[in-house]
Chains A and B, each alone.
Chain A
Amino acid sequence: MIDDIRHIQDRALAGLSAVTTLDDLAALERDLLGKTAELSGFKKVMGTLDHDARREVGAALNAAREAISEAVAQRRSELEVVAAVARAESERLDLTEVRAGGDAGHLHLVTQTIEELEDVFVGLGFSVAEGPEVEDDWHNFTALNFGAFHPARDMQDTFFVGLGGPREVVMRTHTSPVQIRVMENQRPPIYSVMPGRVYRNEATDATHLAVFHQLECLVVDRGITFGHLAGTIDMFTKAYFGPGWTSRLRPSYFPFTEPSAEFDIQRPDGTWLELGGCGMVHPNVLSNCGIDPEEYSGFAFGFGLDRLAATRHGVTDLRELASTDIRFLEQF
């Protein structure tokens, strides 16, 4: 009988090592150790044996069950490893094949430039003002001290709009009308910058646009001098372009400022870039806005943004700034 038990155990162990799936293992485990298992049959015959024999057979049976249980557990852990490996393999992904369906979007390079400039000026204590792109003669010219037939009007080729009287409504030729609107609506002190789109009736080419952008800076307060103008331009130059940059002012003419100047900025390598125009706000302009020029003085400076934006990215034809081609837009 003992031999029979040993024989059953040997067969069981051989069977276990042949099982290859966890499901087969579970079925075999039931066959070997369940209520209907062969070894369970010995319990019935045990009662017929004498005491010593019963103890001997009992011990053999327990040993066999233990050995089989152990083998089942071991086989299970072996097969679980195999199954995990198989599942992992079945889920394999090649992550180098992944491509994003979209990207982080694109701000137009002019918008990027305007935001950067606004941030610099906000940091210098300025607020940002805006105004309409279609303007009346008063805000675009007359209040800015352009006489009705002053040759200075020829300096700015103008798009006239089919509203109001002849030449009464224009596409604004500069952001300066926003100066007038700010001064009409706010008492000094005024520390404002005015970015925006402007329009000139000029044939476009690689370096000239009919629709472009400017940013203007206006300060009106007590005791503002030409020295403050030069100092503020220099501070802006360093804040925006970098500490190694400097600026200079050269006499020029604008109807709405006097004294007037052009301002150039100097790169760290010593070369110059003509950037914009500036000057002390003309007393007539202050008076036109109801500000007493004897009490307050002010300065303004302004420049075009498009070339700044384009140069930074090596865009040599400014006309591309109006491009709606995704190949252009997605580069910024």
Chain B
Amino acid sequence: MKVLASWLNQFLDAPVSPEQIAAAFDDLGTPVEEETRLGEGLDGIEVVQVLALRPHPNADKIQLVDVDRGDGEALQICCGASNMAVGDKLPLATLGTVMPDGMAIERRKLRGEWSNGMLCSTRELGLGDDHGGIMILDPSIPLGTPLVEALGIEPDVLWELEVNPNRPDAMSVSGLARDVAAKLGVDFRPLNPPALVGERSEFSWSSTGPGGRDSRTLADSSTVTVEVADPVGCGRFVARVLRGVRPDAATPDWMVRRLTALGMRPISALVDISNYVMLELGQPNHPYDLAKVADATLGVRRARDGETLVTLDDVTRTFTEDDLLITDGQDRPVGIAGIMGGADCEIGPDTTDVLLEMAWFDPTSISRTSRRLGLRSEASARFEKGADPGVIEVAADRFCELAAEICGATTEPIQVDVRAKLPERPLVRVRTARVNSLLGTDLSAGRMAELLGPIGFEAREVDGDLDVTIPTWRFDSATEIDVVEEIGRHEGYRNIANRELTEPRAGRLTPAQRERRAVRRLLCGLGLAEAQPLPFLAPGQLAAAGLDPGGIELVNPLVAEESVLRTALLPGLVAAVAHNHARRQHGVGLWEIGHVFLPPPPGQVLPDEREHLGVILAGREAPAAVEVWQQLAALFRLESPTLENADLPGLHPTRGARVLVAGETVGTVGEVDPTVLGRHDIGERVAVLEVDLGALFSAPRRSEAYRQISRFPSSDIDLAFEVPEVISAIDVEETLRSTDDLVWSVRLFDVYRGAPVADGTRSLAYAVRLQAVDRTLTDAEVAEVRARLIAAVETTHRASLRG
């Protein structure tokens, strides 16, 4: 919402400086997003007249303009625009002028021709958005007049404010003024146009009715009718009739300036008045050409499925039963309620009689239709937040007042007023103690009433608490907590004292959170870098990484390349390696901890979402990734961590394995499939590890108990076995480790294939260190343990000791 200081001040009983107003906006939750000082920097701008137009000898896009400042002399200006003709009056920034944007005008040469100033567009002058050409001025203005004087410009301040959904009142100049006045302690002067159709009625949220039909007889004995067939969608519908609009009526400059400043394009006197009233009072309204509205009747009803209407913007709109339409006496649609009028009944240059609509529409209905049609307007933005059903008559009187002033229109002394269903906003009991216990304040009921009164929340004290009436301009407010917020807002957040939390509490990370950090430290310790690629993949990216192509898809992705939820970290990490490889950054080692999304388990809507760890080592072979896994397993003292060689999706067919803990799979390890590498133009081997961290953290662990170290010398024995290829080297090691308590450590130190080792087997050589805590082992004891170890391996693993 934009607002001008001069317009706002019209509603304040005492003049307030722009600085005070801007500060109040910030304190009230309608913060200033942009502030523009208007009419400043125009001191050196004068009105000049074009004497001659000549082409620039050295530039196609610049022309030479000779202008007269009033002394009859031709002054040469270089100008990039071409919308002017000889005789036109234009604004010239004379030498020495500093423009609103800070640019200083100097005499300078453009492509060899002198320019003695600058002809200005409205945008360059800060007077509008038009940059299509130079501003053409009224031919009656005397030459040499300062522009400020010629246009009657007074310095002003334009603010663009952020308005949240809970502030329907802030969608109008008067509503903003009411809030600011309350904050600054000045009186708010509500608009009070002459009541043209009799005394304006009191109106509250309970001023409801059944809807239906209401007619009034006009001076010529014809009737005007409103019929509200949907009393929920339309809570109130007021209609008036204006006669005798002068076809040549022009919008006055002051109104054009205000509309333009607030971002509305001036169109015609009646449309401008309509917009002006909406901006001023927040009441969207619609003037129809009475002659074009069949039977002078307006109706409100839900659309029929497939019904269509060509709207003001010349687009054909198709409706569903959800949409609320305005219809004429023949039941034909003439507008989309609260959003946009139809082209047929549009005000035109021939319009003399006007049927004026002022209504209140249900915010949800407007929001649904506007969203479904993708059609937003200034009107829908206001109805969506909740318009003020109580301001309708003032707005109608204001419209009629301005139409009389500007268009010479007279208002028929009748008003059709159909009342239907409005939201219930009963008195709200606000407990003084509750307010103070939520805000941390110590305000009296009286003080709260003082804060609420000026913004229209009338508060009556009852037994130390308050009964509060919700004003009709605050659709958003309905309950005690809403009133608490208003009290806090107007007391001022800065006036509420900071407090410290005093309950003693111990903060800590969960075991999983601590262990996740340990994983991070381990991977950093291995010299690897954490990456955080996007969790969205392109269609086909899973397949390109050799994985099951089915991933959960986004319904409305930003781009197709980011439309599939990853089911593994592998594709993103392979893409990361490819990115680096393509830049001759070889051998990168990356890791990532992030969520992956698998199909929902039966009976569940949400995906099976898991946290994975991925490690990728470019330029390394599979064993490098296995080593990372072994370090992880050691870090968490995992119980019986092991691998099962397997041909797995995405991995090298003969260089991959499942990672298991205590028999449960927790991940995969190996090398990326060469086919996958080929698709990604990666010309080096890539080792990879992907582990489900949740499974890892919950896997069984070895005891944390300390194992006593011995003061006595240890004994080392080396054992080499011929072991069938199908037997896991880890299993053999586990047998050696677990067969006898005297075994302190087991280390696989050599693997050999080839003669004389039999085909289908390989030689695995282990160094076993034996140790007792209480003595030096005798040769006989060592020999006995050795024999037991050999027997265990030979019987368990179909292995044989090598001679």
Contact = CB atoms under 8 A, between A and B. Distances in A.
A246 to B, nearest CB: 10
Contact of B525 (A105, A115, A202, A330): A105
B529 A322 contact: no
Contact of A191 (B368, B439, B493, B507): B507
A103 interface: yes
A227 B583 contact: no
A261 interface: yes
Contact of B500 (A155, A164, A235): A235
B437 A297 contact: yes
B552 interface: yes
Interface in B488-520: 488-489, 493-494, 496-501, 503-510, 513, 517, 520
Interface in A247-305: 248-253, 258-262, 280, 282-283, 297
Interface string A107-129: 11011000100100111111110
B484 A321 contact: no
A29 interface: no
B507 A163 contact: no
Given A151-B384, A325-B580, A259 B484 contact: yes
Nearest to A249: B493
B523 interface: yes
A115 B517 contact: yes
A151 B565 contact: no
B27 interface: yes
A274 to B, nearest CB: 9
Contacts of B524: 104-107
B565 A226 contact: no
A253 B166 contact: yes
B439 to A, nearest CB: 5
Interface in A217-253: 219, 221, 223, 225-228, 230-232, 234-235, 248-253
A280 B600 contact: no
Interface in B502-549: 503-510, 513, 517, 520, 523-536
Contacts of A197: 535, 594-595
Contacts of B594: 197
Contacts of B600: 163
B165 A324 contact: no
B187 interface: no
A150 B605 contact: no
Interface residues of A, number: 86
A295 B496 CA distance: 22
Contacts of B501: 124-125, 191, 219, 228, 231-232
Nearest to A121: B507
A124 B505 CA distance: 8
A79 interface: no
B367 interface: yes
B51 to A, nearest CB: 48
B735 to A, nearest CB: 35
Contacts of A280: 438
A15 interface: no
B554 interface: yes
Interface stretch (A19-27, A42-50, A53-61, A133-141): A133-141
B558 A251 contact: no
Interface string A186-214: 00010100000100011110000011000
A258 B167 CA distance: 13
A151 B603 CA distance: 32
B498 A234 contact: yes
A327 B494 CA distance: 46
Interface in A120-168: 121-128, 130, 132-136, 147, 149-152, 154-155, 159-164, 168
B498 A250 contact: no
B219 interface: no
Given A159-B557, A201-B556, A252-B29, A258 B481 contact: yes
A57 to B, nearest CB: 58
Contact of A258 (B441, B484, B510, B583): B484
Given A151-B385, A282-B481, A225 B499 contact: yes
Contacts of A168: 605
Contacts, number: 239
The interface centre, meaning the residue of B165, B526, B534, B552 with most chain A CB atoms within 10 A of its CB, is B165
B1 interface: no
Nearest to A330: B529
B229 to A, nearest CB: 22
B597 interface: yes
B635 to A, nearest CB: 15
Contact of A227 (B481, B497, B506): B497
B368 A149 contact: yes
A260 B485 contact: yes
B605 A169 contact: yes
Given A164-B605, A226-B496, A258-B485, A251 B29 contact: yes
B607 interface: yes
Contacts of A41: none
A70 to B, nearest CB: 44
A259 B556 contact: no
B588 interface: yes
B507 A160 contact: no
B534 A211 contact: yes
Given A108-B531, A126-B507, A162-B552, A259 B488 contact: yes
Interface in B571-626: 572, 575-576, 579-580, 583, 585, 588, 590, 594-595, 597, 600, 605-607, 609
Nearest to A203: B558
Contacts of A106: 524, 528-530
A226 B440 contact: yes
Given A151-B367, A163-B607, A123 B507 contact: yes
Contacts of B513: 118, 128, 130
A302 B602 CA distance: 34
Contacts of B500: 228, 231-232, 235
Given A127-B510, A149-B371, A282-B481, 5 more contacts: A102-B527, A124-B507, A160-B554, A161-B552, A163-B605
28 contacts: A105-B529, A107-B520, A118-B509, A118-B513, A132-B595, A133-B535, A133-B595, A159-B554, A159-B555, A161-B565, A219-B501, A225-B499, A226-B441, A228-B501, A231-B499, A232-B500, A232-B501, A250-B27, A251-B29, A253-B164, A253-B167, A259-B439, A259-B489, A260-B485, A282-B481, A324-B579, A326-B529, A329-B590
Interface of A: 101-108, 110-111, 115, 118, 121-128, 130, 132-136, 147, 149-152, 154-155, 159-164, 168-169, 171, 189, 191, 197, 201-204, 210-211, 219, 221, 223, 225-228, 230-232, 234-235, 248-253, 258-262, 280, 282-283, 297, 321-322, 324-327, 329-330
Sorted nearest first, the 10 A-B pairs with minimum C-beta distance are: A227-B440, A105-B524, A251-B29, A225-B440, A102-B527, A253-B164, A324-B576, A125-B505, A231-B498, A227-B499
